[in-house]
Copies of this chain bind each other. A is one copy, B any other.
Amino acid sequence: MARLATTSDVYNAIAEPQRRSIINLLAKGELSVNDITETLELNQPQASKHLKVLKEVDLVTVRKAGKQRFYNLNGENLKPIHDWVMSFAHLWTERFDRLETYLDELQGKE
């Protein structure tokens, strides 16, 4: 078997550099396919394809407006990755072990 389909796995979805670039762009606010295409200097079909992958793992949502489709980042679905990577943060920052406690406080979990 080959690698898992990107459409079934957020980790695979963000493994593609241009998809990360798209995510970076969308973090600033919604953009049309054309905006993304031009900013990243992609071919339009490529942009649509990457957006499709991101949509399938629910990392983005679409808003229809006339001829255009405005894509929005659905960043919450990066949280599992965040949580996973965070569990290793203590490896590069000794004082990071206080972080978890801090985060709990932040979220009011006490």
Q: Give A residues with C-beta under 8 Å from B.
A: 3-4, 9, 11-12, 14-17, 20, 23, 27, 73, 75-76, 78-79, 81-82, 84-89, 91-93, 95-96, 98-99, 102-103, 106-107
* B residues less than 8 Å from A76 (CB atoms): 91-92
Given A3-B3, A81-B81, A99-B102, 10 more contacts at CB 8 Å?
A4-B16, A11-B14, A12-B15, A27-B87, A73-B88, A75-B88, A82-B82, A93-B106, A95-B106, A98-B106
Question: Do most interface residues of chain A lie in helix, strand or loop, or is the interface mixed?
Answer: helix
* Cβ-defined contact, B93 with A88, below 8 A: no
CA distance A60 to B92 in the complex (A): 14
Selected from B9, B15, B82, the residue in CB contact (under 8 A) with A86 is B82
Q: Contact check, A96 vs B91: say whether CB atoms are below 8 A apart.
A: no
Complex contacts, A106 vs chain B, CB 8 Å: 93, 95-96, 98-99
